[in-house]
Structure 1
Amino acid sequence: MKYYLIAGEPSGDLHGANLIEGLKKADPEAQFRFWGGDHMAAAGGAENLRKHYRETSFFGIVQVLRNLCTIRRQMRECQQDVAAYAPDALILIDYPGFNMKMARWAHDNGIRTLYYIAPKVWAWREWRVKAIRRYVDRLFIIFPFERDYFPRHGITPVFEGNPLVDAIEARRPALPAAEEFRRRNGLDKRPIIALLAGSRRGEIRDNLPLMVLLSKRFPEHQFVVTAVPWIDRTLYDRYLDGSGIRCVSDQTYQTLAAAEAAVVTSGTATLETALLGVPEVVVYRTLWFQVKLQPYVLKVPWVSLVNLNLGREAVAEIIQSDLSVGRAERELRSILPGGEKRTQMLADFDELRTVIGEPGASDRFARRMVEELKR
């Protein structure tokens, strides 16, 4: 069968690549064409990469408004390419701003549509549930708590685990020991605390200054920021100059593997940190009125995927608008070795791994997709 996949972000590229590998196992005659990135190109053939996510990723309202003409042109380009390829299935991977529009177009044009990694409608923009129900032929979900959410809205989803587990387990054997990580990056002997300030410019701008202030309370530790490679290093340097904090690029898992604890913004990174067994504090700084409106705007009681999947507050979530570090300091001290919350948090992370599911999710999802299309 012929598959057309669309991923518009680095995480979607990684999960799309693992899905392609699974589809090749489940369907030896599989042919691919896709929008994605380097990982998908390696899995499905560089000649089949129609558009790289570097050309299609626009974050935040300002960027979207500035690039509306480009986005509309890319949408038309994608639709024309899908129509010309005439796939047996269009597989949409997360990236809801673009992919929900593609789902509607595909539905109107009689193209079978599978949505892999559901939009986070349970947190905000719940109106998208109606569009999923109308335009998507089958929804594939990766969080256990979504198994209860979507049926309440008339959608029967497919859950086979979380492909993030596959990504982590594939890289775990190659992660360096703490001493080797220190040597490679010129670090001293002090214990490491990892700082994951987000993957978007706005998140880094808002959260990194608070993390710098927090680091000054822990001179006996060294703090290491995990920079993402698609953001210019000068943005990090703007806040880190003179702080003594080391910044490493594209080494998130390596840094976490060497760290005693982590301070993390909300998002997938909270789940990655927990699955790697690193105690964490979730800190997210935003505008004051967004903090006030959070209980009314968000449809869920927590922002971290750890707490959402466990159904309770296993990791502290500190959502604030100012640069106060008092509570963050207390929570961080409580999860360092000898802290009163560390043992329980590590036990919670063991439970989380059971809840999330075993490795092999990408292959299981691929088999279910092939079965669905053959039915």
Structure 2
Amino acid sequence: MKYYIVAGERSGDLHGGNLIREIQKLDSKAQIRCWGGDSMKEAGGVLVKHYRDLAFMGFYEVLKNLLTIRGFLKFCQADILKFQPDAVILIDYAGFNLRIARFAKENGFRVYYYIAPKTWAWNAARTHKLRKYTDRVFSILSFELTFFEKYGVNVTYVGNPLKDAIRSFEPDTSFRENHQISREPIIALLPGSRKQEIQNVLNTLLEVVPHFPKAQFVVAAVGNLPPSYYDSVCSHSQIRIVTDETYQVLSVANFAIVTSGTATLETALFGVPQVVVYRTSTISYRIARALIRVPYISLVNLIMDAEVVPELIQQDFSVENVVAWSKKLLKDTKERENQLQAYASLQEVVGDRPTSRIVAEEIINDLLPN
């Protein structure tokens, strides 16, 4: 059968790659075209567009690039029509993928949404579109079920695909030696995977470094961005830059400062205490504040419905606040112990399902004639 998969971000590419591998195990004749990145390409998908071209974040930034995004939409729609897939599989990336869902459904294609849009957090009206333009939705957050079912969405909880990725990870025993990471403690800096995140976060994180003269800082860089984005770090003797090896960094880290996103949950599942930071443009932040209906932004806190990890957002994201929390969580303190205990509960909530395999089986069984 033929599958068309669309992911627009780094995390979506990771999960898309694992999904492609599972589809191929079950369907030896699978033909797969995809929008994603290196993970999906390495898994065997024919890569149409790399997510590095699609990584616009924030309301203002999206508006500035609206013509470019519309061009991508038209290109994607035309490519789907030409390919004539048996299934269109959309991974997260709601602003783009909900439009593709509508187009695909109106043109008679089966539409599956993997990693549901977070319409419960803002703009619940979009949930009606999810019901109308998808055949099935695969949720990776258990608390979403009640919300989506209330709107009549055909939703199935499949567990969290990060467990698939972490389960297959093998630590490199020579990692520290290879990257000349000799000091302890090790503080991981995860500034994000998109250019706006790096620009909004990294320089503030660098100002934190002098406050911990004995620590080794390791920046988890990403290869989809030009190395020049990390130029401000290169000359700092206390910092190492490691590219596309985030899990290796987390496997040796004592503490992490993490930009809000999928990385917050990954860090927690690795058992690394963390403080979450986030900053966007003033316009985007004001719009978000007016629309968002949930009390937290990090996945860890959302899943646990409690402030497990501190969130320093916008004006609260200051050097002083980051340093204060880092000192509390780097040492053997009550705050660190409480966070680690909450992580143990988080592991139980997330579970250990083979998510990628489950999604592949559900889609293929759905497509096969009865």
**TM-score, length-normalised on structure 1?**
0.89
State the secondary structure of the residue aligned to 2:272. coil
Q: 1:241 deviation in Å?
A: 4.5
Residues 130 and 340 of structure 1: CA distance in aligned 2, closer, same or farther (over 3 Å): same
Aligned to 1:343: 337
**Separation in 2 of the partners of 1:187 and 1:94?**
35
Is the Cα–Cα contact under 8 Å of residues 285 and 322 in structure 1 kept in the other structure?
A: no
Q: What is the match of residue 125 of structure 2?
A: 127
CA distance in 1, matches of 2:283, 2:29: 54
* Kept in 2: contact 1:4–1:82 (CA 8 A): yes
**Is 210-219 or 255-264 further displaced after alignment?**
210-219
Deviation of 1:292 after TM superposition, in Å, equals 7.2
Alignment partner, residue 188 of structure 1: 182
The one-letter amino acid paired with 2:124 is E
* Paired residue secondary structure (2:69): helix
Alignment pair present for 1:278 and 2:266 = no
Q: In the alignment, is the contact (CA less than 8 A) between 1:169 and 1:359 conserved in 2?
A: no
Q: Select between 157-166 and 318-327 the one with higher mean Cα deviation.
A: 318-327
What does residue 99 of structure 1 align with? 97
Deviation at 1:54, TM superposition (A): 3.8
For 1:163, which of 140, 153, 161 is the aligned residue? 161
Any conservation in 1 of the 2:8–2:36 contact (CA below 8 Å)? yes
Q: Is the 8 A contact 2:233 2:239 kept in 1?
A: no
Superposed CA deviations along residues 322-358 of structure 1, whole A, max 9, x for unmatched, are: 6633332232222224122222222211221221121
Aligned partner (choices 281, 284, 299) of residue 305 of structure 1: 299
Corresponding residue for residue 23 of structure 1: 23
**2:222 maps to 1:228:** yes
Q: Which amino acid aligns with 1:38?
A: D
Is the counterpart of residue 147 in structure 1 residue 145 in structure 2? yes
Shift of 1:237: 2.0
CA distance in 1, matches of 2:204, 2:74: 42
Inter-partner Cα distance in structure 1 for 2:349 and 2:316 = 35
1:260-299 residue pairs with structure 2 within 5 A?
A: 260-286=254-280, 296-299=290-293
Alpha-carbon deviation of 1:303? Answer: 0.6
Could you list the runs of 5+ residues in structure 2 that have no partner in the other structure? none
Instruction: Report if the CA contact (8 A) 2:131-2:154 is conserved.
Output: no
Q: CA–CA distance in 1 between the matches of 2:63 and 2:295?
A: 31
Distance 1:327 1:58, change over 3 A: closer
User: Contact between 1:333 and 1:339, CA under 8 Å: does it hold in 2?
Assistant: no
1:148–1:317 Cα change, 3 Å = same
* 2:35 maps to 1:13: no
**Offset from partner CA, 1:254-303 (integer Å, 9 cap, x none):** 11111101011111010010111111111223456776776543211111
Q: Which residue of 1 aligns with 2:86?
A: 88
Change (3 A) 1:288 1:339: farther
Query: CA–CA distance in 1 between the matches of 2:159 and 2:153?
Result: 18
> Does structure 1 retain, via aligned residues, the 8 Å contact 2:59–2:284?
no
Please tell me whether the aligned partners of residues 186 and 253 of structure 2 are also in contact (alpha carbons under 8 angstroms).
Answer: yes
Unaligned runs of 5+ in 1: none
Which AA in structure 2 matches 1:325?
Answer: V
Mapped partners of 1:108, 1:50: distance in 2: 22
Give the paired residue count.
369
Alpha-carbon shift at residue 168 of structure 1 (Å): 1.5
* 2:327 is equivalent to residue 329 of structure 1: no
What secondary structure is seen at the aligned counterpart in 2 of 1:270? helix
* Contact kept? 1:287, 1:321, Cα under 8 Å: no
Which sits farther off after the overlay, 242-251 or 80-89? 242-251
The verdict on how the C-alpha distance between 1:293 and 1:12 changes in structure 2, with shifts beyond 3 A counting, is closer
Q: Over the residues paired in the alignment, what is the CA RMSD in angstroms?
A: 2.5
